[in-house]
Structure 1
Amino acid sequence: MLAAQFMALLDVFIVNVAAPTIRADLAASGAGLQLVVAGYTVSYAVLLITGARLGDRFGQRRMMLVGLAFFTAASLACGLAQNTGQLIGFRLAQGAGAAVMIPQVLSLIQRNFTGHARVRALGAYSAVLAVGAAAGQVVGGVLVAADLFGSGWRPVFLVNVPIGLALLAVGARVLPRDARAQTARGLDLPGLLLLAAAVSLFTVPLVLGQEQDWPLWSWLSLASSAVFLAAFAAYESRLAARGGAPLIAPRVLRIPGIGAAVVRILLVMAVNAGFLFVVTLHFQAGLGHSALRTGLTFAPTALVFGAVGLTWTRWPQRLQRSLVPAGFTITALAGAAVGLLLRDGSFGGPWLYVAFAAVGLGLALGYSPSLTRALGGVRKEDAADASGLLATVTQLGQLVGVAVFGSLFLAHLTDAGAASARQGSADALLVACLALAVTALLGVVSGPVRARH
């Protein structure tokens, strides 16, 4: 399950590195290239709740394998695409496959692990989220630089095919069988359409707005998403009051800790994605580093995040209640430190790696305990609702982080009157890192996450 999760997460980031090669090979326009990169993310985010509900209705094992097969086939099609239009369409299909596959991971963990085993499984899940983000840029850089058999960018998609086929063979043998009688809850099509419209209207301007200098349509789309979200909430409330089967059961939102966990996961993912994005831009465009060197620089962040996610439950009991606020505080301090260390246009020296490791430590403490404790109160029959909700929040947090902090970085990069591009980039990065630090501090005051045992 985690290997599939890692593969799907990798595809969010791996294509960024290959984008220039894709543009040259397929003669893609700027808008076409944006859709190649963003199409996967958009369909992935829009369909996550739907994927969770399909798993609840037809079985998590079955939908995990169906989504994995669809994702693998779409990856093959992407690798063989002959023009930009084909590649965009197959990227949308790839995102749809991931949206069917990924919500089943949390649901299967919820349904098949209990007690300390569940905590360990969720820790490993958290570690994969962190490592996948950094690894995507490293793997993408390696594959594009290798130019295997003169194939250029195509291996960034084709690498999924043998992995996907192997996971299908193993998954068919080891994934637990679905119960014979799955839930009779319907798919709530009106609710699905309202939510899909709200998420689409929110995500599309976030992934395309910056490149187009935030035109009027992007602001209208964001405003419309709020209208559709309100309509979705009102419809779901009426449906639940009539005894129907809403897309997300209202009782899930009332589980102790879920509300605070949603806020904190959104903040962690926004800060993580924003940090990776702006530092990557600075390293590659400002300092002239290669994609591979840039990706490897994030290794301390990913490794510490993963290690903490796997071990935090074994830390002294007296520390447990303060882990989450301490994590956000460490993230704020470390994020500001990165900006200060790089403010003069240099690489930052050995202390930069310490700051990167501290970012990983803080983000892990903000994320892993929040997720684990909140899910401790979720009943098995509500696993799909909680999984779809938290997976969607994770994806939306990443989109918000890239859009907000990326826009801030690029705006100050344009306005900076520095004599050199290197110093101008460093000045813009300092502003973005300070904004990241302030955002992280919001996690400190977002309310306690109550542990459930």
Structure 2
Amino acid sequence: MTVLDPSPALPDRRSWLLLGTLLLGQFMALLDVTIVNVALSSIRADLAASGSELQLVVAGYTVSYATLLITGARLGALFGTRRLFRTGVLIFTATSLLCGLAPTAAALVVARFAQGAGAALMMPQVMSVIQLRFAGAARAKALSAYSAVIATGGVAGMLVGGALIDADLFGLGWRPVFLINVPIGIAVFALVKRVAPADTPSGARRLDLVGLALSLPGVLLVVTPLVLGHEQGWPGWAFPAMAVGVLLLVIFVRVQRRVPHPLLNLDVLRVPGVRSGLVTLALATMAYGAFLFSTALHLQVGLGDSPSRAALIFTAFGLPFGLASFYWQRLPQRWHRWLTPVGLAVATLSCLAVAVGFGSGGHGGLTTLIAFAVWGATIGAGFSPLLSNSLRNVPPAEAADASGLLTTTLQLSQVVGVAAFGTVFLGLAPSSHAISVTLALLSGLLVLGSVSGLALSRAVR
């Protein structure tokens, strides 16, 4: 079944070292979601890439990554989390090298799709290890570190990407944004073997091929139009493809309840807190993804900021997010289950304050930066307990299923947020009110998330 003892014990120093190594791999994978954005103009000039090829350089990673997360989680349960994580790191590292050495735009696109597949094998294993090796307060602390990495990964991608492009190391232009993964990946690959316990699967290694045949094209047909649709003006194939994808996923859900060894055991949804937690997570992450996308465009296109300056402005949001995600447990215990609904409620007000600040036509000054910081801190203070409370009652035997659902929800909701609210923003641009209207609409998602967070707090008390 899985590589780890199904009864979480008090983690030792080696467990924390293992977690740190896995989170380094996760950070590397998250970095590549945004790091490439700042390199697109250089890639276009160097490889004579078309607009469609540039879209696929960005989207290919996200499409394959989101499509394979559920499969990656199940493979980890069947063949061992260490084995699957190291396989993912190996694929990710090798394809990062191929990206950095790509002689043509087409080669780069293919390598990006493969790179996303490697990330999809890595990411679910991190959550599975947290559930299987940590319990109680230690699990909450581990999830806080996980949340902090998520909070900082996207912003760090813009900062690192901008710095590497500006530095033009060895005259390589855009290529170091991919090549930087190679030494990190080699180090992670070697460290995991030293700090993770050996894989000792038990039980039959059966992969639900019917579920695989339904889930892979289903998610692919839903994600691909969402990722590419707004860039291509929502072509005629987009909505029929999504409809077919949704139909396949509905059939997938029905089939999973009938097969003896399902790809995704949906019984985990009956665990108290999981269902309301996933809804809250989806709403909050949709708002987060849409905020990053629309605000980055507003700063760089609307206000003419460089990618590096835009990333520095986002640091006012990302740094408090990361710190609050990690240190929320220092607040009084009786507050913990209310942090998610209250955090999202305060984040709603901060979102509206940023909308008003940008409404003046400029950066909004110090007041807007403070609103960014408050927004980041309150989202961070709510996000880690959201994960902790959602997974609190999940039994170890269902860790892979919870991991697959959670990581897929994280990725899909960001894609949906960017597609829906990115379309709104682009439809209103270049009006100076485009960002204010978009953020005002995003505040509605945060309100719904706060209400759903109340249901979660009641489910886990």
TM-score, normalised relative to structure 1 = 0.94
Report the equivalent of 1:448. 455
Report the equivalent of 1:316. 332
Summarize the alignment of residues 131-210 of structure 1 with structure 2, pairs less than 5 Å apart.
131-178=152-199, 180-210=200-230
Instruction: Render the CA deviation track for 1:406-428: whole Å, top value 9, x for unaligned.
Output: 11100011xxxxxxx5xx2x310
Report the equivalent of 2:245. 225
> Residue 363 of structure 1 is aligned with which of 350, 371, 379?
379
Report the equivalent of 1:124. 145
Residues 266/217 of structure 1: CA separation in 2 closer, same or farther (3 Å cut): same
* Counterparts of 1:211 and 1:166, CA distance in 2: 37
CA positional deviation for 1:141: 0.6
Are residue 387 (structure 1) and residue 403 (structure 2) matched? yes
Report the equivalent of 1:100. 121
* Counterparts of 2:348 and 2:217, CA distance in 1: 34
Q: Which amino acid aligns with 1:286?
A: G
* Counterparts of 2:311 and 2:245, CA distance in 1: 34
CA positional deviation for 1:183: 4.2
Q: Which amino acid aligns with 1:448?
A: A
Report the equivalent of 1:417. none
- For this pair of structures, how many residues does the alignment match? 438
CA positional deviation for 1:89: 0.7
* Counterparts of 1:103 and 1:126, CA distance in 2: 14
Report the equivalent of 1:341. 357
Q: Does structure 2 retain, via aligned residues, the 8 Å contact 1:107–1:387? A: yes
Report the equivalent of 2:295. 279
Report the equivalent of 1:84. 105
* Counterparts of 2:321 and 2:236, CA distance in 1: 39
CA positional deviation for 1:176: 2.6
CA positional deviation for 1:334: 1.0
Q: Does structure 2 retain, via aligned residues, the 8 Å contact 1:326–1:365? A: no
Report the equivalent of 2:281. 265
Q: Does structure 2 retain, via aligned residues, the 8 Å contact 1:328–1:440? A: yes
Residues 444/452 of structure 1: CA separation in 2 closer, same or farther (3 Å cut): closer
* Counterparts of 2:235 and 2:347, CA distance in 1: 33
CA positional deviation for 1:216: 1.5
CA positional deviation for 1:276: 0.9
Q: Does structure 2 retain, via aligned residues, the 8 Å contact 1:328–1:365? A: no
Q: Which amino acid aligns with 1:158?
A: L
Q: Does structure 2 retain, via aligned residues, the 8 Å contact 1:268–1:366? A: no
Report the equivalent of 1:115. 136
* Counterparts of 1:236 and 1:335, CA distance in 2: 39
TM-score, normalised relative to structure 2 = 0.93
Q: Which amino acid aligns with 1:58?
A: F
Instruction: Render the CA deviation track for 1:258-282: whole Å, top value 9, x for unaligned.
Output: 1111111111211111111111101
1:238 is paired with a residue of what secondary structure?
Answer: coil
CA positional deviation for 1:401: 1.4
Q: Does structure 1 retain, via aligned residues, the 8 Å contact 2:206–2:261? A: yes
Instruction: Render the CA deviation track for 1:87-124: whole Å, top value 9, x for unaligned.
Output: 01110110010101111000111111112111100000
1:28 is paired with a residue of what secondary structure?
Answer: coil
Report the equivalent of 2:43. 22
Q: Does structure 2 retain, via aligned residues, the 8 Å contact 1:69–1:164? A: yes
Stretches of structure 2 that go unaligned for 5 or more consecutive residues are 1-21
Q: Which amino acid aligns with 2:439?
A: C
CA positional deviation for 1:361: 2.0
Instruction: Render the CA deviation track for 1:145-184: whole Å, top value 9, x for unaligned.
Output: 1111111110110000011111112111112332x23342
* Counterparts of 1:71 and 1:342, CA distance in 2: 38
* Counterparts of 1:378 and 1:452, CA distance in 2: 11
Are residue 245 (structure 1) and residue 266 (structure 2) matched? no
2:201 is paired with a residue of what secondary structure?
Answer: coil
2:237 is paired with a residue of what secondary structure?
Answer: helix
Q: Does structure 2 retain, via aligned residues, the 8 Å contact 1:56–1:182? A: no
Q: Which amino acid aligns with 2:438?
A: A
> Residue 406 of structure 1 is aligned with which of 422, 428, 431?
422
Q: Does structure 1 retain, via aligned residues, the 8 Å contact 2:140–2:385? A: no
Report the equivalent of 1:353. 369
Q: Does structure 2 retain, via aligned residues, the 8 Å contact 1:15–1:156? A: yes
CA positional deviation for 1:365: 3.4
Residues 329/183 of structure 1: CA separation in 2 closer, same or farther (3 Å cut): farther
* Counterparts of 1:366 and 1:236, CA distance in 2: 32
Instruction: Render the CA deviation track for 1:55-105: whole Å, top value 9, x for unaligned.
Output: 101100111111101100000000000001110111011001010111100
* Counterparts of 2:205 and 2:437, CA distance in 1: 49
Are residue 58 (structure 1) and residue 65 (structure 2) matched? no
* Counterparts of 2:48 and 2:31, CA distance in 1: 25
Report the equivalent of 1:418. none
CA positional deviation for 1:316: 1.6
Q: Which amino acid aligns with 2:231?
A: E
Structure 1 window deviating more from structure 2 (5-14 vs 106-115): it is 106-115
Q: Does structure 2 retain, via aligned residues, the 8 Å contact 1:36–1:91? A: yes
* Counterparts of 2:241 and 2:343, CA distance in 1: 34
Q: Does structure 2 retain, via aligned residues, the 8 Å contact 1:56–1:183? A: no
RMSD, aligned CA: 1.3
* Counterparts of 1:327 and 1:228, CA distance in 2: 36
2:423 is paired with a residue of what secondary structure?
Answer: helix
Q: Which amino acid aligns with 1:16?
A: N
Instruction: Render the CA deviation track for 1:294-331: whole Å, top value 9, x for unaligned.
Output: 00111121111111111222212332232111111112
Report the equivalent of 1:302. 318
Stretches of structure 1 that go unaligned for 5 or more consecutive residues are 414-420
* Counterparts of 1:173 and 1:369, CA distance in 2: 31
* Counterparts of 1:349 and 1:103, CA distance in 2: 40
1:344 is paired with a residue of what secondary structure?
Answer: coil
CA positional deviation for 1:185: 5.0
